[in-house]
Amino acid sequence: MGWDDAFANRLVERDLTIGVIGLGYVGLPTALGFHDVGFRVRGVDVSQRVIDSLSAGENPGDDPNHDDLIPQSQNHRWQISINSEDFVSQCDVVVVTVPTPVTKQRLPDLSFVLAAGKAVFSSISPNSGTIVVLESTVYPGVTREIWPPLIEQAGLVEGVDVHLAYCPERFVPGDEEHGVRQVPRVVGASSEGVGKDLRDLYATLTSGGVTFVGGIEIAEAAKVVENVQRDLNIALVNELSRIFPSMGIDVEEVLDAAATKWNFHRYRPGVGVGGHCIPVDPYYLIKKAKDAGAPVDLITSAREVNSSMPANVALDVAEILKNSEIEISGSNALLLGWSYKPGIGDPRETPAEPLAQALVGMGCNVQAFDPLVDELLFPKNLANLVRNQSEIQPFDIAILVTAHDEVIGLDWEKLSDIANHPIIYDGRRVLDVSSLKSLGWLVYLLGAPI
């Protein structure tokens, strides 16, 4: 029986041990998913808080869907640790799901991928044939650029002692239809045998189908391109949200009309793009393409449009306050929602932060109402965080940033009562304008003439 057959049989028997390095918003559901399917799972995270929480059978993350899935005690099928050495030698497959952020200079920060690789490869036994899969978003070539030197340092031979693969995470936080158990996946691997084994392994995790697409670089590139395309299409409607009001036209009416065409893609303009993928991944491709001397003008232009949206909204706010004869310096702005996406508490790369910075720079005091946002990651010296409507202080303008249910469902009559000026700017085009107007609100809309 060959190696492939052995893997296939052990897959059927669920007789495989899967290591998951990094138990964040990607790693945790992945570990829980493989555990739920019946595999032995070994989870590792560098955060003592995460480990303590999981050890107590509690959910360290902000997705309530995980609450009931977390095993209440460790056993032979579920073990967690802060040290990867404890587990890696037991694993048949090690899945690396660590962050790949950008630096302040908008350059890829691969330090987590490097550190994870170092820890993993130093614990792999010769001849084990362990498969190490990177899931973090990178630019094409990263996996094969930065891990092989670490493999060599560990005295291992790639293709014999260890196999490399790439399987980008694709799930949508807060979207139950596109979780780790539902999304289609692609696998790139250095050999066809490994690629097909991983395809079959991931097919136990997700109902969305898994495609082996060939080399690692193809899968790396596919992930980046998916996010670059979204960034670009959002950038277009954002650019249009600045063009059409200058002609006296509301961009949303135009997009609704265009959307009656069979092949139109309906994106929505907004305060800006946040999160760990779309505002980050394009910089990875831009860096790599620039190094290769390839043109990146379009991708770069899209990134600039989207990253300029918070500042544009601040300029809209200044104009609105001026029209209402309110001095912006010393005024009070209330941001409704802070996290980057409705329904989740993650504030990474949220456009609320540069918006608050721009408003503070113009002399505003900023408070933010967000019942969901992770308090530890909230910049307290920039703005005041308010968790309940009753704590909201008087304000001169409210700006809807994140369309949380808790925001849309505010008691708008009460809110207008405590406003110095009941002015609202809908930065996501989700509010019921006529009902707000009937309550006495002065309503402005992103993408509509002021």
Active site amino acids: 277
d(CA 288, CA 279): 16
- As a whole number of Å, the end-to-end CA separation of the chain is 72
Instruction: Pick one of 295, 325, 380, 434: the residue that binds a copy of itself (CB under 8 A).
Output: 295
Instruction: Identify how many contiguous H helices and E strands the chain contains and give both numbers.
Output: 16, 14
Binding of a copy of itself at residue 384 (CB under 8 A)? no
Q: Taking CB under 8 A as the rule, does residue 35 contact a copy of itself?
A: no
Tell me: does residue 146 bind a copy of itself (CB under 8 A): no
Q: Which of 235, 328, 358, 392 binds a copy of itself (CB under 8 A)?
A: 235
The answer to whether 214 contacts a copy of itself (rule: CB under 8 A) is: yes
- For residue 177, count other CB atoms closer than 10 A to its CB: 9
Q: Which of 6, 292, 377, 450 lies at the binding interface for a copy of itself (CB under 8 A)? A: 292
Q: Does 186 bind a copy of itself (CB under 8 A)?
A: yes
Q: What is the largest CA-CA distance in the chain?
A: 82
| C-beta of 157 vs 294, nearer to a copy of itself | 294
**Smaller CB separation from a copy of itself, 122 or 300:** 300
Among 12, 107, 160, 298, binds a copy of itself (CB under 8 A): 298
- Contact call for residues 252 and 259 (beta carbons, < 8 A): no
222 contacts a copy of itself (rule: CB under 8 A):
yes
The residues near 259 (Cβ < 8 Å, ≥ 6 apart) are 266
User: Count of residues binding a copy of itself (CB under 8 A)?
Assistant: 65
Taking the C-alpha atoms of residue 307 and residue 286, their distance in angstroms, rounded to an integer, is: 15
When asked if residue 450 is in the footprint of a copy of itself (CB under 8 A), the reply is: no
In the complex with a copy of itself, the residue whose CB is nearer, 183 or 403, is: 183
Considering the rule CB under 8 A, would residue 302 count as an interface residue with a copy of itself? yes
* Tokens coding 448: 């509509």
Name the residue with tokens 């309906």: 266
CA angle 225, 374, 80 (to 5 degrees): 80
Q: Which amino acid is at 269?
A: P
Q: For tokens 């084994």, what's the residue?
A: 197
Q: Which is nearer to a copy of itself, 60 or 174 (CB)?
A: 174
Q: Which x/- pattern, by CB under 8 A, does the window 60-89 give for a copy of itself?
A: ------------------------------
How many other CB atoms are found less than 10 A from the CB of residue 388? 9
Q: Is residue 257 close enough to count as binding a copy of itself by CB under 8 A?
A: yes
Q: What are the C-alpha distances in Å from 93 to residues 15, 198, 273?
A: 12, 9, 34
Q: Which stretch binds a copy of itself (CB under 8 A): 12-20, 253-261, 335-343, 390-398?
A: 253-261
CB of 62 to a copy of itself, least distance (A): 23
Q: Toward a copy of itself, which CB reaches closer, 236 or 430? A: 236
For a copy of itself, the binding residue among 217, 315, 374, 439 (CB under 8 A) is: 217
d(CA 285, CA 300) in angstroms, rounded, equals 10
Say if residues 162 and 121 touch (Cβ distance below 8 Å).
Answer: yes
Distance of alpha carbon 181 from alpha carbon 196, whole angstroms:
19
Contact 180, 192 (CB under 8 A): no
Q: How far is the CB of 343 from a copy of itself (least distance, A)?
A: 18
Residue 9 CB neighbour total at 10 angstroms: 11
Least CB distance to a copy of itself at residue 446 (A): 14
- Please give the residue ranges that form the binding site for a copy of itself (CB under 8 A): 140-141, 170, 178, 183-186, 188, 208-209, 211, 213-214, 217-219, 221-223, 225-226, 228-230, 232-233, 235-236, 239-240, 242-244, 246-249, 253-258, 260-265, 285, 288-289, 292-299, 301-302, 304-305
